[in-house]
Structure formats: structure tokens, C-alpha cells
Amino acid sequence: MDRREFLKRSMLVVAGLAVPAAALELIDPERLLAARPELRWAFLVDAYACVGCGFCVKACKLENEVPYDANVSRTWVERYVVKRDGSVLIDSPRAARDGFTTGKIELGEGKYAEVPAGEIEKSFFVPKLCNQCENPPCVQVCPVGATYQTADGVVLVDRKWCIGCGYCIMGCPYGVRFFHPVHHVAEKCNFCYHRISRGMKSACVDACPFGARKIGNLRDPDDPVTKTVLAGRVGILKEEYGTKPQVYYVGLTREVR
Amino acid sequence: MVHGEAWTVKELFVYPNEYIYWTIQIVMYPFLTGLVAGAFVLSSLYHVFGVKQLKEIARFSLVFSFALLPCAPMPLLLHLQQPLRNHHVLMTPHFTSAIAAFGIVFITYGMIVASELWFVYRGHFVATVHVLREKRDRTLQETGLMRLYSLLVLGAWDVSHHALEQDEKGVKVLAGVGIPVACFLHGYAGFIFGSVKANALWMTPLMPVIFICSAVVSGIALCILTYIATMEIRKLMAAWRRRENPALPSPTDLGGVEENVVRMTSRYLVMFLILAITLELLDLIFRGYTAVKSWDILRSVIYGKDFTAIFVLQYGLGNLVPFVLFLLPGLTVRRAVVGTILVLFGVFMMRWNVVIGGQAFSASFAGFMHYHLPIWPHDFETFKEGLFGALAVGAVPFVFFVILARIFPVFGQRDSH
Ligand code: SF4
Ligand code: SF4
């Protein structure tokens, strides 16, 4: 093979390699779905505003077809009761789907604790959902790429591709993931991606009568969520894991887990 | 009922979606891969480092490692919620995931063991085929074996001295390459856990090394145990056959368990056992010493909820007792049997305490979860993630071994390497 021939052939090879690469590029779902650098979804939770009614949880279950009576949920609300002696009692009965109907705190294994009003230092509610982390460990550990992050920052699960290994459930420090009881694949909150990508708000935001939940675009400086995130005193959960959550909290205290 | 609810009991505050998702099959998974890796390392001690006393058991453990190999992914498969999609891992591997590497490492390792087996047994194949070809009244089984061997020879019929020497070199190289790959195979099973930053108990860079050491321990223990058992069964069978045909060799001619093989092998076992325990204790002490945020909950699991499982069963019964049994002078075969069974139990408990213990506390650090191993299954899920599922997975390697040992004779006969 002379040099000319060699060059010709190598060009063929390079061209051959380039074609499938380009073809792949075209159908890359991440890019197709949301190649919008001007968009980054974020969530703002106001723990001062939340009264623990659980409307959001109910709405979420119905909207996203998570079986209503199954003991898992894409979002939930926690109740914190801090006693004068410093001890903290936390519960979220049935993910607070029906709100908090009793003053008794669920301790698991069918036990309850009743705290006399005089012993209570403070008590409050904290809604939880997937943080759509900037650096999501769930995406990192998924062996098949069924969990992936869109360009606008939302982490999604491909139900047709998930093998149900549960590695992502183990990898998420916030315990938001679970197995869908019907589809038997990993499941979690996706900020109601089907709604927000059509210009609507997520179901929980719409359902909250007290404005404790807001969703917005961090890249839009005029978005009220962005304004609060930038200028307000907001906190995020479990910062030490380096996951860079994009759910921001107003009124976070050190007791919150 | 959602996945995990059947066997999880929650105590205090646990996030609503948290259950014990990784059950006994995920305990079986590192246990089995550990046995694969350990058996291979044992066989390599002879081939690579020329530890002559291990010659007898080297071939045995190589075949055993090969029999264990296809069983290693079985628990993973049984635990998947979508087992029919398992090939996705190979079709679209997602390389940031530790599990995704499994297929690749596993196949590479399988090929190494298979080629090594081939080099070890090629001479034997050729010789047997020649003998069987000459034989006039072959039984059906013999004809089958002849055909199979002719196939397995892969056209390499040369059994000259030079060719056999080349084989031996091949074995050496493969055994040498195999050691790091075997360690990698298991080390990365440790990495699957060690790299989960969300889990305070798993998250340590020591995890892969701890896994490798205990893997070697368990692999050696199982090889000793099976070696003794097989030898004894062989003797019994010989005695039984001899009753009908006294011309056959007597059990004493066959030779029983070689005590010095057992003794020598146990010495390696003890060595790796010391290494494994040292690392595990180091990890434990380090956690207590540094006492980061998660230590409070870890301490209550390690020294409270899981005390019996960790200190009594794993360290006491599974490590300390066999340690003493092996170190007391005048090791007998019977004592070795008890010792190896306990060692295997100890390694199993170590896997259990990592996998199940790692899920014994909530990511909220404010509550606990208990795993109630399903014993009597009431549906397929409680079968496969319960006692019988685990037993089924544990039994398969022995079935494979019996089949493989018919093709690759593991004892005496002619020396082919
Ligand atoms: S909160 Fe959990 S599930 Fe959601 S993106 Fe972060 S790691 Fe993934
Ligand atoms: S359970 Fe599904 S989404 Fe989660 S890591 Fe496994 S394959 Fe990926």
C-alpha cells in the first residue's frame, strides 16, 4: 500500500466512523428534549408557609399515577416537633397524604408518642421531593443510563430501559427514589416534567393553597423563584454530599434531616 | 404492596420511600464472586509462585472457580425488578456506574479461566482421545467424551515435549494475569458498595480491599472443604464399587485427603484471614476515631442493633474460633472441616453485615430498618429474595462442579501439567 492509498483508506475509515457518531448525535434524547441553555428548573419550598395539609402529596399521587394506597410517594411532608429538652420527633405518616390528622407522632412499628404542648419548643412542616441535583449520584450509578439528566436540569427515568437494579435508590442521599409498584422500575419526582415543559406548573405547586411550593427558571432573572434564591436566605438539604440540590428552602433549621 | 414492604420493619423516623431494597441475593452476590476470586487465587499460588505443596489442590480449585463463575451473576439477575432486561447493561453500558463494568470484567475473567483450563487439560484431552480411539468396545459415554474432547482440543493435537512445555508457560502467564483480574473482579464488587456516598456504612475506600481479602479467605476455605468432601466421597464410592468388583483399586490405593495439602492451604487461609480482620478492624476504629456526623447512627447499629451479627457471629464464631482451630498445633482434617465451615460462615456474615447492616439505618439518620428474611415464600418475590432463593443460588455451583469434574478430572490420574 503506498502513501496515497493509505491516506485514501484512512479517510474512508474516518468518514465511516464519523457517520454513526453524527447519527447518534441527532437522536440524543437529552439534547432533543431540552437543548435550552436558557432554562434551568428549580424549586422553592417555604417551610414557614407549609401547614402540613398534604394536598400536594395527594395531588402528586393522582397526577403521576403512583398507586394511591401504596406506601411510597414522589413527594412527602415531614413534621418536626422539637422538644424543650432538645430532642426531635419526626414523622410523615403515609407520606402525609392525608395531612397530619392527629397530634400523636408516629414512631414506627405501630407506636405513637404524644408530646404535651408545654414540652414543645417549636414545630413545623417540611415538604420533600427530588432535588434534581446538579451533580446527581443517581445518574452516575445507573448501569444502563435509564436515569438521565436533561439539559434543563431535570433528572428523568426511562421506564422502558430501567432494569430495576435499585442502585440509584441506594445512591440517592435523600431517599426520594422507590420502585413503582405497577411498572417495577425506579420512580421519583420529576418536577412534573410533562407539565412544566408545556408551560404549566407542577401538580403540587398548583395544589398548595398556601404557596409553600414554587417552581421556576433559575436562568430567568425576573422569575420570583430566582429572585428569592439569589437574594433571600435560602438553604439546601445535605450540602455535604456535593450533589448540589436545586430545591431551595426558606426556613430550614438544623433539625431538618 | 410495594417492593421491600414484605420484609422491612421501620422504627422511628425513616423516609417514606425507604425500604430494604438490597436483600439476601445482594449478600449472595459478593459472597459468590468472592468464592470465584478466592478459588482462582488459590490455584494460582501453585502455578505462578510454584508452591509445590498446593499442586494437588491447584487444579481442583481452578475447576471449582470455573464452576462458580456462571453462578456469580445469578443473584444479581434474581434480584432485578426487570430481569429480562439484564442485557441492557452490556448493550448500553453507562461507564460512570460501577455495575456497568461487571459484564466486561466478568467476561474477561471468564475467558482467562477458560483458557487456563484449556492449557492445563489439553494434554489430557489429546491423550484420552487417543486411548479412546483405540478402544474397540466404547460405551456411549466414552464415545461422547471422545467427541467432546476432540472438539475441545481445537485442533491442537501436538503433545510433543516442547508443546506441553509451551502449555505450561501459557498456564503460568494466564494464572499471573488472572490474579489481578480476579482481584479486580472482586475488588470492584467492593467498589459498588464503597462508592455509594449516600450510605455512611459503605462509604470507604477500604471496601474493595476488605472485599478482596475476605474473598480469598472464603475461596480457600471452600476449596479445602470441597477438596476434603470430594476425597471422602471418592473413597466411599471406591469402597462400595469394590464390593462388587474386588479387582478395583482399594480406597487406600486411591489415597485419601492429603493432610499436608490441607495444612499448607490452611496456612494461606490464616494469612489472608489476618489481613482481612486487620483491615476490617482498622475501618471500624477509624470511623470511631474520626467520628464524623454519621458516627452516632453507625455506632448504634454496630454496637447496638447488629452487635450479635457483627461481634458474636462474624468476628467471634466466624473469625476468632476458626483462627484458634487452625493455629492450635497438629491440625487434623476434621478440625479443618469445622474451621473452614466457620470461616465460610464468617465471610457470609461479613457480607450480610455490610449489605443488610448498611441499610439498617435511614438516610435521615433518625430511624432504623430491620430486615425480616422471608423464609416461607408466599409469592415469587418472597421466594427469590428469601431463604430458598439464596439456597438455590448457593447450590448451583456444586451441580456445575460435578458436571465439570467429569470433563476436567480434578484428581490424580495422569499429570497433564
Ligand atoms: S435527589 Fe436523589 S433522585 Fe433526585 S436528582 Fe438528587 S440524587 Fe437523584
Ligand atoms: S433501578 Fe433503573 S434507573 Fe435505577 S440505577 Fe437501576 S437501572 Fe438505573
Q: Where are the domains of chain B?
A: 8-407
pLDDT value for B254: 67
pLDDT value for B413: 47
| Per-residue CA distances from A231 to A41, A221, A225, A228 (Å) | 17, 11, 10, 5
- ipTM value for the complex: 0.89
For chain A, residues with pLDDT lower than 70 are 1-36
- Ligand 2 atom 7: the closest Cα is on which residue? A162
Output the CA A212–ligand 1 centroid distance in Å: 21
Class of the A41-256 domain? alpha beta
A76 vs B contacts (CB less than 8 Å):
15-17
- The three cell numbers locating residue A228: 428569592
pLDDT value for A7: 57
| Per-residue CA distances from B47 to A59, A165, B44, B166, B215 (Å) | 66, 38, 5, 14, 19
Judge whether B102 is closer than 8 Å to chain A, CB to CB. yes
Q: Residue B323: which region, alpha, beta or left (left: phi > 0; alpha: psi -120 to 50)? A: alpha
Rounded to whole angstroms, how far apart are CA atoms A175 and A173? 6
- Ligand 1 atom 5: the closest Cα is on which residue? A132
If one residue of A40, A75, A176 were mutated to test the ligand 1 pocket, choosing by the most ligand atoms within 8 A of its CB, it would be A176
pLDDT value for B417: 39
Candidate from A163, A175, A241 with C-beta closest to B89? A163
**Tell me: the pLDDT tens digits for B299-331?**
999 999 999 999 999 999 999 999 999 999 988
Rounded to whole angstroms, how far apart are CA atoms B412 and B314? 36
Residues 6+ apart with CB under 8 A from B173: none
Quickly name the fold that domain B8-407 has: Formate dehydrogenase/DMSO reductase fold (1.20.1630)
A170 within ligand 2 shell (Cβ under 6 A): no
pLDDT value for A75: 98
Amino acid at A56: C
Residues framing ligand 1 (Cβ under 6 A):
A 130-133, 136-138, 155, 172, 174, 176-177, 188, 243
pLDDT value for B416: 38
Atom of ligand 1 nearest to the CA of A177: 3
Rounded to whole angstroms, how far apart are CA atoms B237 and B231? 10
CB A78 within 8 A of CB A92: yes
**Tell me: the pLDDT tens digits for A72-109?**
999 999 999 999 999 999 999 999 999 999 999 999 88
Asked if B363 lies within 8 A of A170 by C-beta distance, the reply is no
- The three cell numbers locating residue A255: 433539625
Candidate from B16, B94, B195 with C-beta closest to A144? B94
With cell 410517594, the residue in question is: A73
Judge whether B17 is closer than 8 Å to chain A, CB to CB. yes
Tell me the average confidence (pLDDT) per consecutive run of 10 residues in chain B, 417 residues long. 94 96 96 92 87 84 92 92 92 86 86 94 93 88 91 90 93 92 88 94 95 93 91 85 78 72 90 94 95 95 96 96 94 93 97 97 96 94 94 94 90 48
Following CA atoms B111, B113, B119, B121 in sequence, which dihedral angle do they give, to the nearest 10 degrees? -120
HEC profile of chain B: CCCCCCCEEEEECCCCCCCCCCCHHHHHHHHHHHHHHHHHHHHHHHHHHCCHHHHHHHHHHHHHHHHHHHHCHHHHHHHCCCHHHCCHHHHCCCCCCCCCHHHHHHHHHHHHHHHHHHHHHHHHHHHHHHHHHHCCCCCHHHHHHHHHHHHHCCCCCCCCHHHHHHHHHHHHHHHHHHHHHHHHHHHHHHHHHHCCCCCCCCCCCCHHHHHHHHHHHHHHHHHHHHHHHHHHHHHHHHHHHHHHCCCCCCHHHHCCCCHHHHHHHHHHHHHHHHHHHHHHHHHHHHHHHHCCCCHHHHHHHHHHHCHHHHHHHHHHHHHHHHHHHHHCCCCCHHHHHHHHHHHHHHHHHHHHHHHCHHHCECCCCCEEEEECCCCCCCCHHHHHCCHHHHHHHHHHHHHHHHHHHHHCCCCCCCCCC
pLDDT value for A14: 54
Q: Which of residues 221-280 of B touch A (CB under 8 A)?
A: none
pLDDT value for A188: 98
Global pTM reads 0.90
Q: What angle do CA B282, B285, B288 make, to 5 degrees?
A: 150
Rounded to whole angstroms, how far apart are CA atoms B173 and B154? 20
Atom of ligand 2 nearest to the CA of A165: 6
Judge whether B363 is closer than 8 Å to chain A, CB to CB. yes
Rounded to whole angstroms, how far apart are CA atoms A205 and A182? 25
B79 vs A contacts (CB less than 8 Å):
165-166
